[in-house]
Amino acid sequence: MFEISGPYSNKYYKHWERGIYSCVVCGEDLFLSHTKYDSGSGWPAFYDIIDKDKVTLKQDLSHVGANLLLLVCNPSMARTEVSCSTCGSHVGHVFDDGPKPTGKRFCVNSTSLNFRAQDPLMKTLFQC
């Protein structure tokens, strides 16, 4: 079944259970729940990833289209796409307006994630 996912109405936007968020395509673990926060964007947001090698970052100008003058006048429109390093699937975008300690906001599409609840034996991973 196709899942409709928009801002403020997606599967993991208000999801606060402890666990691990992984890539929906290949299962690679990407985010720990204790790094998730409410960014006010309507999308799941994380201030960090499990490991920098688990994602690929690249400049994304797709929303600008052919209007390069728009980008010249407003360079902040350039976004950074986040993809799973293992399978290459799109995960979301990262911005530099997140909270401490990283200052990053990984703005993620719920449909790109699966969630696995915290295993009681892994409590040390989730202590803040």
> Can you give the CATH number for the domain in which 63 is found?
2.170.150.20
In a domain, 108, yes or no: yes
Residues 6-40: tens digit of each pLDDT: 888 899 999 999 999 999 999 999 999 999 999 99
Question: Tell me, what's the pLDDT at 1?
Answer: 42
Predicted confidence (pLDDT) at residue 68 exceeds the cutoff of 60: no
Is 46 within 8 Å of 37 (Cβ atoms)?
yes
In a domain, 126, yes or no: no
Residues 105-127: tens digit of each pLDDT: 999 999 999 999 987 665 555 55
- List CB contacts of 1: < 8 A, sequence separation 6 or more: none
Residues of the chain with pLDDT > 70, as a percent, come to: 74
Structural domain of residue 68, as residue ranges? 19-81+88-113
SS3 of 65, please? coil
The number of domains in the chain is: 1
Write down the pTM of the prediction: 0.80
- List CB contacts of 41: < 8 A, sequence separation 6 or more: 7, 105, 107
In a domain, 66, yes or no: yes
Of 26, 84, 87, 107, which is the active-site residue? 107
Where in 24-88 does DSSP place strands (E)?
A: 29-32, 36-37, 45-46, 55-60, 79-84
107 in active site: yes
Amino acid at site 123: K
In a domain, 9, yes or no: no
- Residue carrying the six token digits 């920098």: 52
In a domain, 8, yes or no: no
Predicted confidence (pLDDT) at residue 56 exceeds the cutoff of 90: yes
